[in-house]
A and B are shown apart, each in its own frame.
Chain A
Amino acid sequence: MPKSPAGGPMPKDPNSKYDLGKISARVDRVNVSGLLRTHNDYVQRAAEGLFKADNFQSMMLEAMAAKSYLHELGIFKDVSVHIDISRGADATPQGYEVTLKGNEYTRIMGSAGTEIGQNEGSLRTELTIPNILGRGESISLQGSYSSSRANDVQLKFWKPFFHTRFRENRPEVSFSVFRQTDRFNISSFQTTNLGYLIDFSAHTMLGVDLTHSLQYENSIRDLGLLNKSVPFAIRDHSGPKLASLLRYSLVFDNRDNNVFPTRGIMLKSVNEYCGLGGNVAYTSSMAHGEMNVPLFAGLVAQFCGRVGVMKETKKTTVLPINNLFYCGGPLTLRGFEYGCAGPVVEGTPIGAQTFWCTGAHLWTPLPFAGVFKGLASHFRMHFFYNMGNSNAFTTDNMRSAYGLGLAIKLAERARIELNYCIPLSRQATDKASNGFQLGIGYEFV
């Protein structure tokens, strides 16, 4: 079966006896079977493209597209496609009948496993009740626990609108109630956020494919102290506060791979406006970019940058310290300890209101990669040069480091880096780590 992505014309195979594109075909009937709980109108659009097909090749492609569309609807465990000539009284001469046979999810699904977060691994369990009302509405209960930094529990309800006429935009609405604990060990405090989140996300295809997500969050952020000798600059912030904020994030990604891309650009921006009621007020913006340029012999040049700015609004009395930016660590400025390339109060690192950091990488396949083929695709070597700074958009007193390391791909999403780092310039209060440093995550600079 042809497996080209939906819609694209198949390259002509010169060895093929028949040109499938020239064999005319007409889809008479589309059956979707296996619908037990799902309403018919929810899968109706799967057939749309099929009826437009006028030759055998496009019919095959449309059938595959319909299959992947049904998968995306999130109701079927697996889907199979059967194509047969149509029979019966109203069958046309070139008529075909397409049957999409689905196998619905069970009522309750559970899973447990490990997850890679930003510089932490966590244990995660999830319980999902898919497709409750028959149109893709689902509820899930997730819990994740990590020893080092964050724990959270989340109850989420979501409903996709892929079946409406906006299917190309893939709109989805979700509502979640969450309780999340974040530990900021280096600053000796932890926050417990308890609240709810309404999220609307969609794609737009005006020239470029962008992923938008608009969120409203209402949460109680309780800041607790982790030990008795916490500086007063941090102690002053303790206690619960009510935050009410809008968050808009935008992602553009045309890289060919998430972990070891060879070409393409990724841009991401997250903007928050907090202060719609409650007693926390600030605006915060963060942008992350990555550009990959293929060179020769499998070498890839990669340039990354990240910048964050947090500002007071008219309503701000104090900026919440738990939203400040931490710079430094294996994911941002290699060669520094996590969060330790920023301002310090009484010896304790505290986040910065603004920061920037950039990284230049030269990625190479491992030597003799050809010998190991499959295995070698999980490994890369890189030389890097990082620089960045906190609370200043200048290159005066900036921090920088260079080094080289080995990166391992984990499950198409995350990577582990083992780097030997040599800090070049630092400030007196920074904690640099000259030597080997291990980083796990999915978004590096």
Chain B
Amino acid sequence: MQSSQYLNQLHTADKLSEEPWPEDATLYQPFEAEQILLPENASCLAVKAYLKMCNLPFGVRSCANAEHMSPGGRMTKLPFIRAGAFIFAEFEPIVNFVEQKDMAIGSWQDEDEKADMRTYVSLVENIFTMAELYVSFKNERVYKEVTAPRNGAVYPWPLNLMQNYSKRRNALRQLKVYQWHDLDIEHVIEKVAKCCETLEYKLKESPDTPFFFGDQPCELDAIAFGHLFSILTTRLPNMALAQTVQKFGHLVTFCRFIDEKYFQMRCLQD
């Protein structure tokens, strides 16, 4: 039954690949002001940036149980998008879905370049998501002062405590799977710094364009912006991550440029 369902989904996916992007596509995410956590915020921002770069219209709906409504995913399960009869969660499945529709950015890239870019995307997604999870759940102060109150904000007592407990347990389990659980903060910073260095190096390869690959945006621009911008603009009791990213001037400039071009949030300090 399950497999026939997947087959069915695959079949309809094929059928609908020629259909245009639905007008009422909606992105579901937690409440930005009081609920969303750093890793979730980063992935939501990345997806939004990607859709804006593709120039696809979408609405945003904030709901308290967005994570539970999500069909599931590899990391944060968020955001998820509802486009017509389809629901996809997280950055990569959404990107794959958009790419079926021939409206995706990056269609100008050749196979080699694409494979190259994919490597960067998965590097950025893994390193930054894990670092964000690490800071949010492993750092006692950040967890107590920010993560726990925000995650529990939408639940009444004592449900909030139980939700915090299970959320933290899941996050720690995830860190363990990626073998980040026994690192200390210096190692984490080191990994992030290395990742930033790689990104900055890539950015410098084409110094006269603002994007990573050539003069047009691609997936990497979206996901790098999502994570970097979230890290830079989220106030935490421990700003180690932000300070690390801050050291890479080109990346900060890149974030400011993308923000200016697609979002105009302008909350990135000089």
Contacts and interface: CB of A to CB of B under 8 A. Distances in A.
Given A220-B159, A232-B82, A239 B5 contact: no
A229 B156 contact: no
Interface in A402-442: none
Interface string A220-256: 1001110111001001101111100000000000000
B69 A240 contact: no
A117 interface: no
A277 B159 CA distance: 12
A278 interface: yes
B65 A278 contact: no
Given A220-B162, A239-B67, A239-B68, A227 B156 contact: no
Interface in B154-210: 155-156, 158-159, 162-163
B5 A240 contact: no
B69 A242 contact: no
Nearest to B82: A232
A279 B9 contact: no
Contacts of A228: 5, 9, 71, 87
A240 B2 CA distance: 25
Contact of B163 (A229, A235, A240, A277): A240
B156 A242 contact: yes
A279 B5 contact: no
A239 B162 contact: no
Contacts of A278: 156, 159
A216 to B, nearest CB: 16
A229 B9 contact: yes
A229 B155 CA distance: 26
A242 B162 CA distance: 11
Contact of B68 (A229, A232, A238, A242): A238
B69, B82, B85, B87 — most chain A CB neighbours (10 Å): B69
B30 to A, nearest CB: 11
Contacts of B153: none
B64 A239 contact: yes
Nearest to A241: B159
Contacts of A279: 155-156
B69 A239 contact: yes
Given A220-B162, A229-B5, A232-B82, A238 B69 contact: yes
A347 B103 CA distance: 31
Contact of A236 (B69, B156, B163): B69
Contacts of A238: 65, 68-69
Contact of A242 (B82, B85, B155): B155
A208 B146 CA distance: 60
Contacts of B158: 242
Contacts of B9: 228-229
Given A228-B9, A228-B87, A235 B155 contact: no
Contacts of A242: 155-156, 158-159
Nearest to A237: B65
Contacts of A239: 64-65, 67-69
Interface in A200-231: 220, 223-225, 227-229
B38 to A, nearest CB: 21
B88 to A, nearest CB: 10
Contacts of A223: 68
Nearest to B86: A229
A236 B158 CA distance: 22
Interface in B81-102: 82, 85, 87
Contacts of A235: 69
A158 B104 CA distance: 64
A224 B85 CA distance: 20
Contacts of B159: 220, 240-242, 278
A241 B158 CA distance: 11
Nearest to B5: A227
A21 B128 CA distance: 93
Contacts of B82: 232
Contacts of B5: 227-229
Contacts of A236: 63, 65, 69
B64 to A, nearest CB: 7
Contacts of B163: 240
Nearest to B71: A228
A229 B87 CA distance: 8
A417 B205 CA distance: 77
A240 B162 CA distance: 10
A240 B155 contact: yes
B69 to A, nearest CB: 5
Contacts of B2: 227
Given A220-B162, A228-B5, A232-B82, A277 B68 contact: no
A384 B216 CA distance: 73
B168 to A, nearest CB: 15
Interface of B: 2, 5, 9, 63-65, 67-69, 71, 82, 85, 87, 155-156, 158-159, 162-163
5 smallest beta-carbon distances between A and B, as pairs: A239-B65, A239-B68, A238-B68, A242-B159, A228-B71
Given A238-B65, A240-B163, A242-B159, 17 more contacts: A223-B68, A224-B68, A225-B71, A227-B2, A228-B5, A229-B87, A235-B69, A236-B65, A238-B68, A239-B64, A239-B69, A240-B68, A240-B155, A241-B159, A278-B156, A279-B155, A279-B156
